[in-house]
Structure 1
Amino acid sequence: MIELHTWNTPNGRKISVALEEMGLPYTVKTVNISKGEQFDPAFLAFSPNNRIPAIIDPEGPGGQPITVFESGAILLYLGEKTGKFLPADLRDRVPVLEWLMWQMGGFGPMPGQVHHFLLQPEGPARDYGVKRYGDETKRLYGVLDRRLAGRDFVATAGAPSVADFAILGWAWRHERHLVPFDKALPNVTAWYERMMARPGVKRGFEAYLGG
C-alpha cells in the first residue's frame, strides 16, 4: 500500500485525487507543515527539498520499494505505474506534459505568492505583492479558460489526465487567491464543476490530509 506523506494543501490534494481516481490503495501520513514536521530527518531522507507531498511505494518497479517527491513527478510516476490518465502515445502525451509543466511552473507558484502576501500586514509591500502576483494569477486563469474553450478536459479528450488533477489542486483554492468563478471564466467554471463532480475527485478531496 502506498504511503502518502502530505498535508491539506493544493499540492497534497493533487495526489489524493490521483490515487483515488486511479483506484490505488494508500494510507495517509500527515506532515504538519505548520509545526515544521517537513524538516524531520526521517522525512528529509526521501523528500530532500523538505516539501510535501512525497510517496513511498513498497511495490515499485521490479517489485522493489521506491520513493518519489515533487507532486508533478509523483503524478507522472502514478500514471506510468497504472497506465491511467497518462497517454502511452507520445503525440497524445505531449499536451499532458505541457500542461503539467505549465501548472508546476506558474499555476501554483503565482497563486501561492498571492496567498503569502495576503497574510502580510497591511502596507505598500503587501499591496505590491498582491497586485503583482494577483495580476499574473488572473492572466494564467485566462490562459486556462482559452484552452478549455470547446474542451471537456485540459490536455486529453474524453477523460481527464494527470494535468487536470494538478491544475485542479490549485483551482480548488481560487477564492483564496481572489479569483471568483463567474462569467469572466465560463470554460474554467464548467471544467471545475465537471471535475469536482467525479466520484474519485470527491473522495480525494474528502480524504483526511491534516489541517
Structure 2
Amino acid sequence: MSEADIHLYTAATMNGYKPVIFLEEAGIPYDLTFIDFAKKEQKAPDYMQLNPNGRIPTIVDRSNGDFAVFESGAILWYLAEKYGKFLPEEANAKSEALQWLMFQMGGIGPMMGQAMYFQRIAAPNGHEEPFSIKRYVDETRRLLEVLDTRLAGREWLAADQYTIADMATYPWARAYVWAKVEIDGLDNLKAWFGRIDARPKVQKALTIPKAQPAFWGQADESEFLKENAARFASDVKKD
C-alpha cells in the first residue's frame, strides 16, 4: 500500500484541528502523527527540522520532495493551492479569503489564545492576573463582533463561499466558551457556527487526533481543566 502524499503532524488544539478540517472536507488521504506536548515531542530535534518554531501543526508533502510546511494558515493556503479547493481562483475573491485568513492568524488566534492562557493555564497554576484576563477577553469580544458584522447578510466570511478562512476561524471562534467570552447579541456569528456545526466532516475532524468537547462547551470542563493546566504548567512564568 502506497503512502499518502500528505503527512500531518498535529495535536488536539484549535490550530491543530485546522488542517484536519481541510483534509477531511476535501477527502484527501493523509497520514497522521500525534504530537504529545506532555512528552515535549514538538521540541524533538527531528521535528524541529520540519518546524523550527517547535509548534504544531506541520505537514510534509511527500509528492513534492518531502516539502515541509509549518504555521497553520500557511498549511491551509498550501493545501488549497495544491488541491484547488476552498480558495477562489479569481484574484479579488482570493485576496478577500486570504484577508480573512490573516485576520484569524493575526487577531482571533493570538487574542483568544492569550485569553485562554491566562484563565486556563496561568490562573490554575497560581498566577491570577485580572488585568491581563480583562485585556484579552475584551479584545476577543471585539474581534468576534467584527466577525458578526462581517457575517451580516452573508453565509461565509469571504467570496460568497466556504473557504479556508472559515476553516481557520471556526475552531478558534467556536471555542468562545473555553476563552470565557460571551457571545450574547452576536446572532450572525451564532448562525455561522450553526452552519459549520452541521457539516459532518468538520465534526469528524474535531475528533482527530482527539476530541476535546470542553473547548466547545459540550462537556464538564473541571477534569479537563486540571489536565490542561498541568500539561502546560512549565509554560507559566516562575517567580
| TM category, shorter | over 0.9
Aligned residues: 206
Deviates further, 124-133 or 23-32: 124-133
Q: Counterparts of 1:124 and 1:67 in 2: how far apart (Å)?
A: 37
| 1:19 and 2:23 are equivalent in the alignment | yes
| 1:51 and 2:55 are equivalent in the alignment | yes
Alpha-carbon deviation of 1:199? 2.1
With structure 1 as the length reference, what TM-score do the two structures score?
Answer: 0.92
Matches within 5 A, 1:62-211: 64-118=65-119, 119-121=121-123, 126-157=129-160, 159-182=161-184, 184-209=185-210
SS in 2 for 1:142: helix
SS in 2 for 1:178: coil
CA contact (8 A) 1:30 1:210 kept: no
Q: Counterparts of 2:163 and 2:211 in 1: how far apart (Å)?
A: 26
With structure 2 as the length reference, what TM-score do the two structures score?
Answer: 0.82
| 1:9 and 2:13 are equivalent in the alignment | yes
Unmatched 5+ stretches in structure 2 = 213-239
Q: Counterparts of 1:56 and 1:121 in 2: how far apart (Å)?
A: 36
Unmatched 5+ stretches in structure 1 = none
CA contact (8 A) 1:32 1:210 kept: no
Give me the identity figure in percent.
Answer: 43
Ranked by relative contact order (alpha carbons within 8 Å, sequence separation 6 or more), the top structure is 1
Q: Counterparts of 1:172 and 1:34 in 2: how far apart (Å)?
A: 25
Task: Give the 3 Å change call, closer, same or farther, for CA 142–57 of structure 1 in structure 2.
Answer: same
CA contact (8 A) 1:7 1:210 kept: no
Q: Which string of whole-angstrom CA distances, capped at 9 and with x for unpartnered residues, describes residues 107-140 of structure 1?
A: 0000110111113248895111110011000000
Q: Counterparts of 1:178 and 1:164 in 2: how far apart (Å)?
A: 21
Q: Which string of whole-angstrom CA distances, capped at 9 and with x for unpartnered residues, describes residues 119-175 of structure 1?
A: 324889511111001100000000000000000000121x31000000012023110
Q: Displaced runs of 4+ in structure 1, greater than 4 A?
A: 122-125
SS in 1 for 2:60: strand
Q: Counterparts of 2:94 and 2:180 in 1: how far apart (Å)?
A: 32
One-letter amino acid of the structure 2 residue matched with residue 134 of structure 1: V
One-letter amino acid of the structure 2 residue matched with residue 27 of structure 1: D
